[in-house]
Structure 1
Amino acid sequence: MKTVHRLPVLLLLGSLAMLAVAMVAPAHASAKHSEHFVRPAELEPDIAFWRRVYTEVTTEGGLLHDPEDLSVVYEVLRFPSDISPKTRSKQIEDAKKKYSRILERLASGAEDLSAEEQRVHHLWPKGTRRARFEQASESVRFQLGQADRFREGLVRSGAWHDHIADTFQKMGLPRELAALPHVESSFNTYAYSKVGAAGMWQFMRSTGRRFLRIDAAVDERLDPYRSTQAAARFLEQNYIILGSWPLALTAYNHGPGGMKRAQEQLGTSDITTIVRKYNSRTFGFASRNFYLAFLAALEIDSDPQKFFPGIRRNPPDNSRILLLPNSLPASRLVAALDMDREELRRLNPALLNSVWKGARHVPRGYEVRVPSHIDLTSVMAKLSTGAPEPAEVALAGGQHRVSRGETLSQIASEYGVSMSVLADLNDLDRPYRLSVGQVLAIPEKGGRPAAVVAQTPKETPPPAPAAKTTPPTGVVGAERYVVRRGDTLGKIAKKYGLTEDQLMELNNIRNRQFIYEGQVLALAASARAKPPVEAEVPVATVAAVSEPPSETEAVEPESEREAEEIGPALVPGTQAAASADPSDYSVQDKNTIIVQAAETLGHYAEWLDVRASQLRQLNRISYGTPVVIGRKVKLDFSKVTPDQFEARRVEYHRALQEAFFTQFRIEGTSEHVIKRGESVWVLAQQRYNIPIWLLRQYNPDLDLGSLQPGARLVIPLVTATGASSEPSA
């Protein structure tokens, strides 16, 4: 396995003054002289292709080209503005067929070429083989132009660009990353994609939950400030793992796990080699071109007048923050501010329809954006007078986690509520697309969530609803306890004859509200120093998965309308990766796997439909000896296929992580230098109070079972989501 040097971590954490000096460059520094984002000469034709897409051709046209050699552009198509979608689609297909026929002629070795066939032949490098023409004949591609959308994005970017660059600089990241929203969303804070990505940074829900608050009242993916911080944290994690900005940036789309596999498979971090040679069913056109499109966008963003003469960016956003001391209805907030409701809503896109329609309150502690002229002192005085709002209240119906195949109408019927009320409460628009694992707030039967009996304000997040694959938990031996869904320190302490303070002291817990499902608590002093190498969660009963989920390239949009329907990204299929998990769950050579955190032989036996004793015998592991994180284990595939095993394994980890990130989110990172005698397990579970799998994700190349003094650990810092502080009206 290739080792990523730990020096990049130090750079990220701001420990080298040289980086700080480099970061002082202007926000629109020259894209061709970036210290962090190399432009290899071999990739210049690809960058030039995207530069043409972004500046020369609008969404009223596009380029017919070869998807592998982007220097080969057969024709620029342009369509009348009044052409019908059907006619446009037919013209594109006819043009594709035309060039396929020409390429077939070239592949046949015909010598009597027409003028048009000779023109196409000359587009290709001299000496191109006939087999290459045959391949090209089967893959003629249409790329929609984006010049009008890019221009609109440049105008919008004025409100956020410098703030984004400053945010990244403060976190020790390159300022050039401020150009990334051009590729993701054209700086559209309201952007939604067909596959569920949202906001300026196009976070998928599962990735967004790691860093952002996403619930029935708030979706911080739509907040340009919060989502920018989240994007910075995600990119920081990618860089820690991969040690290269081109790879870290590509991982924003393809996922750090995918890029780490590419890095290890090819034995290099060279972006040119990976773009040209990495072969994976999920590394499609969008992922392969993500970095190249970014370089083109960065070049244009650095000198917009060169490409769009006379263009003017919007002025920077100058809104102010009103920090709410208590939750309250949006109607009362609007009245206190004495401003237009829609203007307030525009400034606060993360507050969902459920808030504006009165089904939920604006949460306590929420940072409300208001115009700069607002007198905050006067507003706070208004909000502090009058009858207090009801204390935080609970949804009478609770929550529901969406399973594969479920529809909104089925869920509404199951709980005896109106589908429109359920959609309204969860901010869903037609055609009501749901994603597996999505958590829906459920109102009481027959209507909106009621303001039931007021409860004493708490800071404890509600128990995370269990996914179908959440592992069972409970007592492990006589001295340890694995936290169940809904557990509290008080309940556990009382059950085992301890006080909360004793339980906190035993586990070095500083915040009594801060425990999570799957966490292992010591019930006696002798259980404190548990080895860090053993997976900590008992066997899960995993829902049957026959095949892994299909990974297909996004449809090529043929018009601006289709591009908007598919998503706001300027490269089809572009959004933040669906998973920020860098772990490798694949089956490797000779039917082996690398042991990941929170796994046991019992898990493998369950997913393989065999007995654990068979696996112990196969690997010569004695009874009671745990599998070690990072080591290889050989598997028996006599009952299931490797694909079926991988799918079950991934589903288990997805559910485990989703349950955690329903309650907690990552706020940043710190560094810990291992001292003599320190246990990684104790550090994770007791000092930093994080699951070992999360620590492993930020330190994938370290052997957590045998760290030497002086080794540096990157520690993800997590905080409670505060999901309980969102009362219903």
Structure 2
Amino acid sequence: MDHRWPSVSGRFSLCLGGLLLLLWTASLQAHEPQPHALPVPKALKRHIDFWTHIFTAIDGHGGVLHDADDLGVIYHTFGHLPASSHQRQDVIDRQRQHYRLLLSALAGNGGKAGNEDEQRMLALFDSPPSVERLRQASENIRFQRGVRDQFVRGLERSGTYLPVIRRIFKEAKLPNALTWLPLLESSFHPRAYSKAGAAGLWQFTRGTGRIYLTIDEAVDERFDIHRASVAAARLLRDNYARLGTWPLAITAYNHGAWGMLKAVAKLKTKDFGTIVRQYRSPSFGFASRNFYAEFLAVLDVVNRRDHFFPNIKARAPEPTHALKLNAYVALSTLETYLGLDRRDMADWNASLRRSVRETYLRIPKGYILRIPQHLMKQPELRARWAAVPRRLRFKAQLQPRTYRTRRGDTLSAIAARAGVSVRTLARQNRLRPPYRIRAGKVLRLPYHAVTQAQYRVQPGDMLSSIAERVVATVSTLAKLNRLKRPYRLRVGQVLQVPRLDTQTRGYWVFRGETLSSIAKRNGTTVAALAALNDVKPSAVIRAGQILRLPRLQMTSRR
């Protein structure tokens, strides 16, 4: 998906392009989406049938050789290709060359078949091909891998997310059919990430995502099912407002509204079948040209899924509590006071980035934390959040870590010392190749690049609050940094701190809990819990007490 338009509503005008484009697009008015069935252009029937075949009949081990323009022309079907990429490509190339020679021979013979293979070849075309069409076809043989197994996994995952998406799209007054778009985009995989950098269930690129979502060092909302679904609904509405038809608006989800407006202006038509057949542009390639046909095939399969996949059952949705944070807070703090493993919380809240998961960067104020309902009741969740001390609730994010460059520094050397790629460091500082830097320039270092056991003192910090934030004791910090009472700190001071504890975690005791109930809830034993906290197994614990819990080797799924 490559959408670069800002969000708009109502009338719009374009400031770029020639006079013809301006005149054409000025006549387009915002269209209110209507909940009707999506149109199926007659010109796309063979294309839809092709994608239906790919989705239902061929898995990832096989594929087909076909004509890139007329998808109904399938030359060869591979049942099971070699696992080795080199061997697989060799098999595909040999078959492609075989059919290329057959088509060339037909063209050289004026389109008349001289044997059974050539007769079979001619029969593949919807109508008798001309000599020129045969020559073109010989250079237009494309391989398409099967995706049946991937499609099945997407159908299974769909049940987890469709209730949320359908509610959002209903509120946006969008056709219900559009809720199946993630099956085409990501196979309903919430953590999908493409080679082009598109991410999440809805496969937003970074550029498009920043128009509709928050993407920064702490949060990437492309991985938030709720926020990303709202963003997708807005994008689709914006596309429809600019283009006026669903075939164009849905194709714009892949190709961009600007690109589709150019196609409409060039051909002076909104007829999608005409645009698919006649529009030529370097950027309007196979994926964009076929995106709408693929989606219609998805809907076809979904509507007949009991026929194609009679034994497939969609997973049930997992209800969650939503807790809106009214302050900046570290994940380690939530881990202690909510009583949940940080790895589980990161799994349930996929938009939290590595810098939050693995350092002390704070979760932003206003973030909606989601916790499965079966883990605790809403009143307990709210009570636990209310118990977080004021000193651990912050009004702002941690100040960025920086590095002032020196004479002789190179970006590659700085990146190597920081443990990140040159590209990551360059993007953090908006640098472009050839990445020339001057002495004295202050660079921002990604938080996940500074996971050394250090902490820079922020305004308002006390040693006790720092100790609680980094899951350590005051005495441990004092000993590490050779501090003496009364532990006076200065802003900007760098303290040595323990790395994030991978063996134990803090746990705030809720009213009515006992060592036995806490041990059972967290997959450990009373004896282990008592030994870790230097108490007797029969000890009485009090509400508000902070215990240490052993951290499970694998994330819990209570």
TM value normalised by structure 2: 0.69
Task: Decide whether aligned partners of structure 1 residues 423 and 337 sit closer, same or farther in structure 2, where only a CA change above 3 A counts.
Answer: farther
Task: Decide whether aligned partners of structure 1 residues 424 and 298 sit closer, same or farther in structure 2, where only a CA change above 3 A counts.
Answer: same
Determine the C-alpha separation between the residues in 2 that align with 1:309 and 1:410: 59
**Deviation of the 1:46 alpha carbon:** 0.6
Determine the C-alpha separation between the residues in 2 that align with 1:163 and 1:103: 50
Task: Decide whether aligned partners of structure 1 residues 114 and 129 sit closer, same or farther in structure 2, where only a CA change above 3 A counts.
Answer: same
Determine the C-alpha separation between the residues in 1 that align with 2:449 and 2:152: 49
Which SS does the other structure have where 1:368 is aligned?
strand
Determine the C-alpha separation between the residues in 1 that align with 2:423 and 2:342: 22
Counterpart for residue 279 of structure 1: 280
**Deviation of the 1:427 alpha carbon:** 12
Which SS does the other structure have where 2:144 is aligned?
strand
The answer as to 2:475 corresponding to 1:453 is: no
Letter in 2 for 1:395: Q
Counterpart for residue 354 of structure 2: 353
The answer as to 2:69 corresponding to 1:104 is: no
What is the CA deviation profile of residues 439-464 of structure 1, one whole-angstrom value per residue up to 9, with x for unaligned ones? Answer: 975469976684443279xxxxxxxx
Counterpart for residue 290 of structure 1: 291
Determine the C-alpha separation between the residues in 2 that align with 1:440 and 1:143: 44
Task: Decide whether aligned partners of structure 1 residues 3 and 424 sit closer, same or farther in structure 2, where only a CA change above 3 A counts.
Answer: closer
The answer as to 2:315 corresponding to 1:314 is: yes
What is the CA deviation profile of residues 118-143 of structure 1, one whole-angstrom value per residue up to 9, with x for unaligned ones? Answer: 21121113331011110111121000
What is the CA deviation profile of residues 223-243 of structure 1, one whole-angstrom value per residue up to 9, with x for unaligned ones? Answer: 111111111111111111111
Which SS does the other structure have where 2:65 is aligned?
strand
Higher relative contact order (CA 8 A, sep 6+): 1
Give the alignment of 1:617-656 within 5 angstroms.
none
Counterpart for residue 388 of structure 1: 391
Counterpart for residue 88 of structure 2: 88
Letter in 1 for 2:121: V
**Deviation of the 1:216 alpha carbon:** 0.5
Letter in 2 for 1:2: W
The answer as to 2:239 corresponding to 1:238 is: yes
Counterpart for residue 304 of structure 1: 305
Counterpart for residue 209 of structure 1: 210
Q: Contact conserved, 1:36 with 1:245, CA < 8 A, in 2?
A: no
**Deviation of the 1:422 alpha carbon:** 9.2
Which SS does the other structure have where 1:2 is aligned?
helix
Which SS does the other structure have where 1:309 is aligned?
coil
TM value normalised by structure 1: 0.54
Which SS does the other structure have where 2:322 is aligned?
strand
Which SS does the other structure have where 1:320 is aligned?
strand
**Deviation of the 1:188 alpha carbon:** 0.4
Determine the C-alpha separation between the residues in 2 that align with 1:342 and 1:453: 26
**Deviation of the 1:297 alpha carbon:** 0.5
Letter in 1 for 2:175: P
What is the CA deviation profile of residues 673-715 of structure 1, one whole-angstrom value per residue up to 9, with x for unaligned ones? Answer: xxxxxxxxxxxxxxxxxxxxxxxxxxxxxxxxxxxxxxxxxxx
The answer as to 2:192 corresponding to 1:191 is: yes
Counterpart for residue 60 of structure 1: 61
Q: Contact conserved, 2:328 with 2:397, CA < 8 A, in 1?
A: no
**Deviation of the 1:89 alpha carbon:** 1.1
Determine the C-alpha separation between the residues in 1 that align with 2:108 and 2:449: 69
The answer as to 2:380 corresponding to 1:378 is: yes
Determine the C-alpha separation between the residues in 2 that align with 1:207 and 1:370: 28
**Deviation of the 1:358 alpha carbon:** 2.2
**Deviation of the 1:380 alpha carbon:** 3.1
Q: Contact conserved, 1:397 with 1:444, CA < 8 A, in 2?
A: no
Determine the C-alpha separation between the residues in 2 that align with 1:426 and 1:318: 40
Determine the C-alpha separation between the residues in 2 that align with 1:284 and 1:98: 25
Flag the structure with larger Rg.
2
Q: Contact conserved, 1:79 with 1:88, CA < 8 A, in 2?
A: no
Determine the C-alpha separation between the residues in 1 that align with 2:121 and 2:432: 44
Determine the C-alpha separation between the residues in 2 that align with 1:399 and 1:314: 48
Moved more, 191-200 or 325-334: 325-334
Which SS does the other structure have where 1:43 is aligned?
helix
Letter in 2 for 1:418: A
Letter in 1 for 2:459: A
Count of residue correspondences: 420
The answer as to 2:51 corresponding to 1:46 is: no
Determine the C-alpha separation between the residues in 1 that align with 2:230 and 2:309: 30
Q: Contact conserved, 1:208 with 1:221, CA < 8 A, in 2?
A: yes
Task: Decide whether aligned partners of structure 1 residues 365 and 423 sit closer, same or farther in structure 2, where only a CA change above 3 A counts.
Answer: farther
**Deviation of the 1:221 alpha carbon:** 0.4
**Deviation of the 1:303 alpha carbon:** 3.0
Structure 2 unaligned blocks of 5 or more: 1-22, 434-442, 462-558
Task: Decide whether aligned partners of structure 1 residues 362 and 412 sit closer, same or farther in structure 2, where only a CA change above 3 A counts.
Answer: farther
Determine the C-alpha separation between the residues in 1 that align with 2:403 and 2:256: 29
Percent identical pairs in the alignment equals 36
Counterpart for residue 2 of structure 1: 24
Determine the C-alpha separation between the residues in 2 that align with 1:211 and 1:426: 24
Letter in 2 for 1:167: I
Which SS does the other structure have where 2:280 is aligned?
coil
Determine the C-alpha separation between the residues in 2 that align with 1:185 and 1:339: 29
Q: Contact conserved, 1:337 with 1:379, CA < 8 A, in 2?
A: yes
Determine the C-alpha separation between the residues in 2 that align with 1:395 and 1:426: 19
Give the alignment of 1:477-496 within 5 angstroms.
none
Determine the C-alpha separation between the residues in 2 that align with 1:163 and 1:444: 32
Determine the C-alpha separation between the residues in 2 that align with 1:190 and 1:350: 9
Which SS does the other structure have where 1:312 is aligned?
coil
Letter in 2 for 1:72: V
Q: Contact conserved, 1:247 with 1:259, CA < 8 A, in 2?
A: yes
Q: Contact conserved, 1:336 with 1:379, CA < 8 A, in 2?
A: no
What is the CA deviation profile of residues 300-348 of structure 1, one whole-angstrom value per residue up to 9, with x for unaligned ones? Answer: 1233212111210011231120111222221221233323443322211
Structure 1 unaligned blocks of 5 or more: 13-18, 24-34, 401-408, 429-433, 457-729
The root-mean-square deviation of aligned C-alpha atoms, in Å, is 3.1
Counterpart for residue 163 of structure 1: 164
**Deviation of the 1:417 alpha carbon:** 4.7
Determine the C-alpha separation between the residues in 1 that align with 2:353 and 2:422: 14
Which SS does the other structure have where 2:363 is aligned?
coil
Which SS does the other structure have where 1:160 is aligned?
helix
Give the alignment of 1:394-543 within 5 angstroms.
394-397=398-401, 411=411, 413-414=413-414, 417-420=417-420, 441-442=445-446, 450-454=455-459
Q: Contact conserved, 2:426 with 2:432, CA < 8 A, in 1?
A: no
Moved more, 126-135 or 59-68: 126-135
Q: Contact conserved, 2:267 with 2:279, CA < 8 A, in 1?
A: yes
Determine the C-alpha separation between the residues in 2 that align with 1:250 and 1:164: 20
Determine the C-alpha separation between the residues in 2 that align with 1:222 and 1:173: 22
Q: Contact conserved, 1:96 with 1:140, CA < 8 A, in 2?
A: yes
Task: Decide whether aligned partners of structure 1 residues 366 and 156 sit closer, same or farther in structure 2, where only a CA change above 3 A counts.
Answer: same
Counterpart for residue 141 of structure 2: 140
Task: Decide whether aligned partners of structure 1 residues 7 and 83 sit closer, same or farther in structure 2, where only a CA change above 3 A counts.
Answer: closer
Task: Decide whether aligned partners of structure 1 residues 294 and 396 sit closer, same or farther in structure 2, where only a CA change above 3 A counts.
Answer: closer
Determine the C-alpha separation between the residues in 1 that align with 2:195 and 2:222: 15
